[in-house]
A and B are shown apart, each in its own frame.
Chain A
């Protein structure tokens, strides 16, 4: 503790409001209906979307398509080997990601169908759930699923008493607060909010504001990535 921010700079040289380098690609997996690949800091994540497909499985709805989401970390994604079996954490994140994405999608056009989202973390760093949401939303747009808006997620945290955006693995583990937030910017809505640690109400309000600014930056990247695949010049859409 106490050595995560020195002279206003973080351990990796960023200022409190800077994002880690972000790279997004669309259409990386040809077999899937829609896919994307994100590199966010040291995170390397593949997302593949299959469907909507006809399903007679128990639990399908007459109202809309059912989403299944699987967030999985590869055994080689961490420093120490991780058991390939889905852990408690992965099951929770799968559920949380599904909920964050579901409210952005317009699924009533596809009754009695299934939509599968597979998220594979190949290399992990802090904030893999927010990077997964950002990438999965782009993959869903690539698959042609109607949506109200792209979802972009970012984690804000408190490190050494300072609010910082986009936590790295070290800051996540040693910092005081971790607060991942997902936005639907067009609708001015929040679709995911989890908090680990304690902060005051004022700090919380400031944190949400900071996250929103970061989300706007991420959204530009998402649009650029989609534009790169679908339009030769990425223009305002």
Chain B
């Protein structure tokens, strides 16, 4: 049970009479008459506007399927790559992208029972030497952190990092910097509690 009384539900909470229960394992917060729970486990659940990193798993003439590290796939229509309508008899999407390419995109539309529609970012192509997965709850926490932890990691390791809210981290750099990033990802995964994560990372980055 998270709270009891007259509150408005913010997220991840269900109400039963006047009691509020969390539906996930997570840390609860009651602020300003609202109850919310921050999830600590589970798959990435897409939300409109999320910036994600995906890997192309299939290329069709008119659309590409993207693995977004979730229980559901994402897809991108071919015209997004050309920024105009295209004629499938003349052009083929495989000239733009191949299976295994990484890209940065935003969640555009979600329909029940169908793949998630994505729209490409301005500079959508993501290059990298290594790809890491962390839990989506931690990725969301790090991306929202106020102390700009991602740029600190970049400065410390000397590698280029792109991180999606779906928990995918793509790193580009020398062998040493990749090694350092591997170490940091291990630290992120070993820390269970979100609140201590930032301090712990600061300790490592020093």
Contacting residues of chain A (201-237) with chain B, CB-CB under 8 angstroms = 226, 229-232, 236-237
Residue in B19, B25, B43, B112 whose CB lies within 8 Å of A186: B19
Q: Which residue of B has the minimal Cβ distance to A233?
A: B193
Q: Which residue of B has the minimal Cβ distance to A146?
A: B23
Inter-chain CA distance A237–B24, complex, in Å, is 10
Q: Is the CB of B71 within 8 A of A144?
A: no
Q: Which residue of B has the minimal Cβ distance to A114?
A: B71
Q: Which residues of B contact A231 (CB under 8 A)?
A: 27, 192-193
Taking A143-B42, A237-B1 as known contacts, 15 extra A-B pairs with beta carbons closer than 8 A to each other, sorted by chain A number, are A33-B43, A54-B71, A106-B14, A106-B23, A113-B71, A141-B25, A144-B25, A144-B41, A144-B42, A146-B24, A148-B23, A230-B26, A232-B196, A236-B1, A237-B28
Contacting residues of chain B (124-167) with chain A, CB-CB under 8 angstroms = none
Q: Is the CB of A145 within 8 A of B40?
A: no
Q: Which residue of B has the minimal Cβ distance to A33?
A: B43
Q: Which residues of B contact A52 (CB under 8 A)?
A: 43, 71
Q: Which residue of A has the minimal Cβ distance to B1?
A: A186
Q: Is the CB of A51 within 8 A of B71?
A: yes
21 A-B pairs in the complex with CB atoms less than 8 angstroms apart: A51-B71, A52-B71, A54-B72, A106-B14, A110-B71, A112-B113, A141-B24, A142-B41, A143-B41, A144-B25, A146-B24, A147-B23, A186-B1, A187-B16, A226-B25, A229-B192, A230-B25, A230-B41, A232-B193, A237-B2, A237-B22
Could you give, for residues 30-73 of chain B, a 1 whenever the CB lies within 8 Å of some chain A CB and a 0 otherwise? 00000000011111010000000000000000000000000111
Q: Which residues of B contact A229 (CB under 8 A)?
A: 192
Q: Which residues of B contact A75 (CB under 8 A)?
A: none
B177 within 8 A of A: no
Q: Which residue of B has the minimal Cβ distance to A231?
A: B193
Known: A33-B43, A146-B24. A53 touches B192 (CB 8 A): no
B7 within 8 A of A: no
B21 within 8 A of A: yes
Q: Is the CB of A232 within 8 A of B192?
A: yes
Q: Is the CB of B112 within 8 A of A62?
A: yes
B12 within 8 A of A: yes
What's the nearest-Cβ distance from chain A to residue B136, in Å?
A: 9
List chain A positions with a Cβ less than 8 A from chain B.
33-34, 51-54, 62, 106, 109-113, 141-149, 186-187, 226, 229-232, 236-237
Q: Which residues of A contact B71 (CB under 8 A)?
A: 51-54, 110, 113
* B interface majority secondary structure: loop
Q: Which residues of A contact B73 (CB under 8 A)?
A: 54
What's the nearest-Cβ distance from chain B to residue A63, in Å?
A: 9
Q: Which residues of A contact B26 (CB under 8 A)?
A: 230
Q: Which residue of A has the minimal Cβ distance to B41?
A: A144
Q: Which residues of A contact B24 (CB under 8 A)?
A: 141, 144, 146
Inter-chain CA distance A34–B135, complex, in Å, is 13
Q: Is the CB of A186 within 8 A of B21?
A: yes
Q: Across chains A and B, which 3 residue pairs bring their CB atoms closest together, nearest first? A: A144-B42, A144-B41, A146-B23
Interface centre among A112, A144, A186, A226 (most CB of B within 10 A): A144
Interface centre among B1, B19, B71, B112 (most CB of A within 10 A): B71
Inter-chain CA distance A147–B24, complex, in Å, is 7
Q: Which residue of B has the minimal Cβ distance to A232?
A: B193
Q: Which residues of B contact A51 (CB under 8 A)?
A: 71
Q: Which residue of A has the minimal Cβ distance to B12?
A: A146
Inter-chain CA distance A51–B52, complex, in Å, is 20
Q: Which residue of B has the minimal Cβ distance to A227?
A: B25
Contacting residues of chain B (69-127) with chain A, CB-CB under 8 angstroms = 71-73, 112-113
What's the nearest-Cβ distance from chain A to residue B202, in Å?
A: 18
Q: Is the CB of A144 within 8 A of B43?
A: yes
Q: Which residues of B contact A111 (CB under 8 A)?
A: 112-113
